Chains A and B, each alone.
Chain A
Amino acid sequence: MERSNQLILALGLVGLLAVLGGQARLLRLRRALGLEQLLAGGFLFLPLGMVLSEAGLGLLDRHIVRSLDALVTLGLGVLGLLLGLRMEPGRISAAHQRLRTAAAVETLTTLVLVAGPLYYALTEMGACGPDDALGAAALLGCVAAISSGHVFRAASAEAGGTENDVGEVADAGTVLAVVAAGVLIAAFSPVKGLGPLERVLAVFAIGSVGGLSAWLLASETEEDSLRTALLLGVVLVTAGTAAHLALPPVATTLMAGMVLANLPGTLGVELRRSLAFLEPPLTVLLTVIAGASLRVPTWVTAGLLVTFLLLRTAGKILGGRLASAVTGAVPQGLGLGLLPSSAVAVGLALDFHLQLPEPLVEVVLVVAVLGSLLSETAGLWTTRLLARAAASLPGSNGAVAPAPTPAPADAPPGGAA
């Protein structure tokens, strides 16, 4: 079969399954089993990618996966942009500063707790040099630090609460992890003529130029579809420039999103709303591609995967306790709500694993992708526990730890915005 036809058929099937995953009876079944996020997340599409892969039906062989490069870069770019757009200035208040501090503490704890032992394990295996082992371990640390704020928000809403603090911590922690991964990937990337510091600066510079361009273009455009077209163009240019320079597209467009969100006006919020519809299909695409890129893990890789999962869980729980102790703005059980991972983790792994030497390529991809998926699965129950506990707190209106939020100047008496 011609490759382009293979590709179109595979993507069509993926899309059909994606939407059929939302079928009403299936949704009810998933809700009854407490598995709302599972089928929408990775459990359906990762195995689907494996089935469609070269080793399976052969519809998504390595040539096809390579020819999807532009779509994958677009997917990574849009995810990064949407993440960056959440960092709008309206959310930088004293309470949010504390939540961000909590996120920094938790992220750093998880990163160090995962990367340290994995670095030791990888160097002990002797499959690569210490530099490569450091890069791989640090990337896995960043992947481990990523959490899904959406899962907690959904669980909180289901439990009848209005709590968003854990979600905020998850988002901020993910931003930090992506920035850390961006710095790491930039430092490792083989760009000719640029030193490590220049490469790191290039990530921020390209992202800033992209964000500014998007703002300039979107601020003069009212028509929604034209604005979407222009934004997608900017994402493709920004992420494509980064990818062409072997720099991370996710971190670059995250920077662009942050710049865009913090420029004058409410454009950031509007753009986040108008681009949100792209997130589900692109997440599905990235998950399927990740599935198609996976190989059957060896025993050693499986051992590393188990280690990763245990370390990540420990890092989240310990990090949550530390964050609670340091800031007093989050509950001690914060880590339970941060266990679910997100598609950004899969995207980071997809983005970086090819820059590693051959023995580490498979290891990092399997550990990162399957680790994120299994974390998401386990995290669904822990998140629900935390959300229910939060919702049942008397007088808190579901807030886990009501932080002293200063009312805006124009807020009515007794009511925070």
Chain B
Amino acid sequence: MRRTVALVLTVSLVVFARAVGSGAPTRFATMALGFLLIVASLAGEAGEHVGLPRLTLHLLVGLLAGPDVLSLVTPEMTKQLQLVNGLAVALIGFGAGMELDIPALARTWRPLARHCGTLLGVVFLGLLALSLAASPFIPLTASMPWRERAAVALVVAAVMSTFSPAVVMAVLSETGARGPLASRVLALVVVGDLGVVVLFTLATTGAHLLAGDAAHPLAASAHVLWELVGSVAVGLGAGAAVYLYRRLVDRQSALMVAAVCLVLAEVGSRLGLSALISCITAGLVVRAASPDMASAMHHLLERVRLPVLVIFFAAAGASFHLDALVALWPAALGVALARAGLILAANRVSAGASGLTPEVARRVPAGLISQAGVTLGLAVIVGREFPGWGASLQVLFVAVISAHELVGPVLFRRALTASGELPPREGWDAPAAGPAPVTAAAP
């Protein structure tokens, strides 16, 4: 009841300001951002009552507030939120890195590598085969020569093989889930993210070769090497800096991490590095150097994480291309179903060798459906690198990502609930205990 009254009061402020004010658009944006933060936070919490992940509700609120529906958030405003987006991705990466228990992972690297390799391999090759088989019947590719069709298929398969560490981390963080399913899914998406960077570069290199563009392959190969090695190197340095700072100074450590994350996000975009990989590496260094410090820093970051994530996912919702989803939904649905089927099949194939119990193993695919920032970034690269058909594919990817971003978190949360990995809830306000540490998954 109190919250309803508060919302009515807040809406009355916004309405009053809109009616009377004539200030700069940026100042209206401040107000709209605050309103979005309140509504998305409350919606996220209310979603828990019906078993929905908070971030799905944040996305939906953003979608409603976005340019396609209520226009409370304009495209210009979502561009202005780039600062928050960069910070959010970097914080997510840093948090994910701090959850990775390297000694435990080292003990179980074989089943994890088999699991991840099978998943990526089956999904990639399956999508490649399906795309090639369907290419004569798709208007975009029907008139293309077979080499160019193969190039398109390669790119589709690589982009659609990605997972979403950001969404998985966010769901684990908000639910406080702990257990073999949470650990394995987090490990798979983080390791898979590294694999996908390589896969995507190899695929785009192949696509350029098939399209007869000889200049690009070398440049692309050099780029992937730089992105992987450079990101890890920058992350190692940043992680060491954070560790030393915390050990020697130990003041305003959360601010230090936020500042490092901002710099990594910027350095990443300017130098062609992956901020996500850099931040995962940095978090990993802190965790490896001192698990206690990682735990303490996790609690420090918890206070700023929710507001940043709410704005990040609400802004992502506001950036949804509803028009693309409406126009391309049959194709998007086809790709999404094919991908889901391949993930299920790959997981079934590798379940025996995954080191997980059958009960846990069969729920893993639910955590792998989500796609978000990484996939979107690759879609943008495709649009830029393949000027002819890349733009059309980019729209298709955005439509598929939009669907996955909405459905994926719901499926993952349901799987976590079913596996009994959610902590017991003490009333509606039970605090999230943070994501599960990625340790050896119980066989």
Which A residues form the contact surface with B (CB < 8 A)?
Answer: 1, 4-5, 7-9, 11-16, 18-19, 22-24, 66-67, 69-71, 73-74, 191-194, 206, 209-210, 212-214, 216-217, 219-226, 228-230, 232-241, 243-246, 274, 277, 280-281
Contact = CB atoms under 8 A, between A and B. Distances in A.
Interface stretch (B138-146, B183-191, B247-255, B411-419): B247-255
Q: Count chain A CB atoms within 10 A of each CB in B10, B253, B265 and give the residue with the most.
A: B10
A14 to B, nearest CB: 8
A65 to B, nearest CB: 11
Given A224-B431, A241-B14, A236 B263 contact: no
Question: Which of A8, A15, A24, A243 lies at the interface centre, i.e. has the most chain B CB atoms within 10 A of its CB?
Answer: A8
B82 A4 contact: yes
Contacts of B256: 15-16, 19
- Central interface residue in B14, B21, B248, by most chain A CB within 10 Å: B21
Most chain A CB atoms below 10 A, which of B24, B86, B307, B310? B307
Contacts of A206: 13, 16
Contacts, number: 215
Contacts of B13: 206, 209-210, 213, 237-238, 241
Interface stretch (B26-34, B329-337, B396-404): B26-34
B20 A8 contact: no
Contacts of B42: 217, 230
B255 A244 contact: no
A222 B430 CA distance: 8
B31 to A, nearest CB: 3
A210 to B, nearest CB: 7
A388 B195 CA distance: 63
Contacts of B439: none
B312 to A, nearest CB: 12
B45 to A, nearest CB: 6
B80 interface: yes
Contacts of A236: 30-31, 33-35, 37
Contacts of A225: 302-303, 305-307, 431-432
A243 B28 CA distance: 8
A161 to B, nearest CB: 24
B266 interface: yes
B270 A216 contact: no
B10 A19 contact: no
B23 interface: yes
A70 B431 contact: no
A5 B30 CA distance: 20
A54 to B, nearest CB: 18
B429 A221 contact: yes
The 6 A-B pairs of least Cβ separation, nearest first, read A236-B34, A15-B259, A240-B31, A240-B30, A12-B263, A233-B37
A341 B26 CA distance: 29
A18 B257 CA distance: 12
Contact of A8 (B9, B27, B265, B427): B265
A225 B31 CA distance: 21
B2 interface: yes
A233 B35 contact: yes
A13 B263 contact: yes
A200 B407 CA distance: 49
B269 interface: yes
Contact of B259 (A19, A70, A224): A19
Contacts of A12: 259-260, 262-263, 265-266
Nearest to A246: B23
Given A5-B270, A7-B83, A220 B2 contact: yes
Contacts of A213: 6, 9-10, 13
Given A216-B3, A240-B28, A244-B27, A233 B245 contact: no
A73 B249 contact: no
A24 B246 CA distance: 11
A67 B6 contact: no
B129 to A, nearest CB: 40
B255 A193 contact: no
A233 B65 CA distance: 15
B306 A228 contact: yes
A240 B27 contact: yes
A213 to B, nearest CB: 4
B240 to A, nearest CB: 14
A23 B249 contact: yes
B30 A216 contact: no
12 contacts: A8-B262, A11-B262, A70-B33, A221-B429, A226-B41, A233-B38, A235-B34, A240-B33, A243-B31, A244-B27, A246-B21, A281-B258
B17 interface: yes
A234 B39 CA distance: 10
A70 B6 contact: no
A319 B38 CA distance: 43
B12 interface: yes
Contacts of A66: 26
Contacts of B20: 191-194, 245
Interface string B23-67: 110111111111111100110010000000000000000000000
Given A69-B30, A237-B35, 15 more contacts: A16-B259, A16-B263, A22-B251, A69-B29, A212-B6, A213-B6, A226-B429, A232-B307, A236-B30, A239-B34, A241-B13, A241-B14, A241-B31, A245-B23, A281-B255
